[in-house]
Amino acid sequence: MKIKTLTLAAALTVGIAGAAEARDQIRIVGSSTVFPFSTAVAEQFGKTSSFSTPVVESTGTGGGMKLFCAGVGENHPDMTNASRRMKKSEFEACTKNGIDITEVQVGFDGIVIANAKGGADLDLSLEQLFLALAKDIPRDGKLIANPYRMWSDIDPTLPKQKIEVLGPPPTSGTRDAFVEIAMEGGCKTLPGAAELGLKKKACHAVREDGVFIEAGENDNLIVQKLEANPAAYGIFGFSFLDQNADKLKGASVNGTEPEFEAIAAGDYPVSRSLFFYVKQQHVGVIPGIKEFVFEFTSENAWGPDGYLIDKGLIPLPDADRAAMGKQAQGLQPLAM
């Protein structure tokens, strides 16, 4: 077995050696939420190092994982960004294709419900958010198709306007995190939910009757659509709200506004961790990967006064950041 493992490793090294000659730029795919952070690091890295500026693509977390885990070689990306942790099934797909992985948690982000500055203010509980967007809701001891068309149908204190929400597709890590944290969180609080067996899968089902509109992986496009339609709301990462604070405002959730300090303190209820993943077989073959990881995990980038904070990243606590930096810069392998 040891001989076979060494033979495989040698074959991978030989297979990718030719790739280095054909590609001298790091290729990064994945989350649209992590995209602006990764892009900022790539631009800084291109300016301050002797390496080419990495190419960063916004493919969505799920799409990025599929590309990243497909194989080793110049046709496959070196890193992938994620707005949720890698799933066990994705880890197994990578492992099956001979890929060893380093996982790096880069910080935190909040998932916001936002609309144009001129639109109505919104203060929602997680329960109201679930009732607005769930495919089925409990009523009189049974599940029924969601009947709510207006926010005020859910609660008369909410705006008297139709529910129209633009959000990410199922391939998005933001969508995964939103349904797990916000939808499931609201679902669990509903009277009768447990008796009806409303658990993960049912709580995560988003309505398909035109109230929730899948707007793709381009969060900037959602921002433009919200500007054009003040009655609509959008779901995306806090960083996009922060970068568009002159155009948009965020809804309060459970009485807490989506602000940097509230997310950092864990008070804002819809928050999640952000990651990137490194393909170890490409390190030392595609130029600059290790150096790029060092730049991303430097205090100058992800520290409390780093340039990524200006982009909306919520930093890890000091001790966690130090431990994660050591793990990242040592390219420690992920095990699941």
Q: State how far the Cα of 72 lies from the Cα of 110, in Å rounded to an integer.
A: 33
Q: Which domains are seen in the chain, by residue range?
A: 2-109+272-329 (3.40.190.10), 110-271 (3.40.190.10)
Give bridge partners of residue 277 from the DSSP assignment: 80, 103
Type and span of the H or E element at 109:
strand 101-116
Whether the pLDDT of residue 152 is over 60: the answer is yes
**Ramachandran class of 24: left when φ > 0, alpha when ψ lies in -120 to 50, beta otherwise:** alpha
DSSP structural state of residue 162: B
Q: State how far the Cα of 35 lies from the Cα of 79, in Å rounded to an integer.
A: 12
What value does the mean pLDDT of the chain take? 89
Residues 183-224 pLDDT 10s: 999 998 887 777 766 667 788 999 999 999 998 777 778 888
Average pLDDT estimate for 236-263: 93
> Closest Cα partner for 61 from 42, 91, 84, 94?
84
109, two tokens: 């982000």
Q: State how far the Cα of 315 lies from the Cα of 240, in Å rounded to an integer.
A: 16
Average pLDDT estimate for 13-38: 75
Report the percent of the chain where pLDDT is more than 90. Answer: 72
Residue in the structure block whose two tokens are 């797990």: 180
Whether the pLDDT of residue 19 is over 60: the answer is no
Type and span of the H or E element at 108:
strand 101-116
DSSP structural state of residue 134: B
52, two tokens: 């080419």
Type and span of the H or E element at 165:
strand 165-167
CB 251 within 8 A of CB 233: yes
Q: Reduce the DSSP state of residue 126 to 3 states and report it.
A: helix
89-98, 158-167, 191-200, 277-286: least confidently modelled range = 191-200
Q: State how far the Cα of 20 lies from the Cα of 22, in Å rounded to an integer.
A: 5
Close Cβ partners of 61 (under 8 Å, ≥ 6 residues apart): 30, 31, 81, 82, 83, 84, 171, 172, 173, 174, 176
Question: What local confidence, expressed as pLDDT, does residue 9 receive?
Answer: 41
Whether the pLDDT of residue 14 is over 50: the answer is no
Question: What local confidence, expressed as pLDDT, does residue 2 receive?
Answer: 32
256, two tokens: 């807490």
Between 100 and 195, the more confident residue is 100
Question: What local confidence, expressed as pLDDT, does residue 222 receive?
Answer: 86
Q: State how far the Cα of 297 lies from the Cα of 321, in Å rounded to an integer.
A: 8
Residues 118-129 pLDDT 10s: 999 999 999 999
Residues 287-307 pLDDT 10s: 999 999 999 999 999 999 999
pTM of the entire structure?
0.79
Q: How many CB atoms lie within 10 A of CB 251?
A: 18
230, two tokens: 């003040």
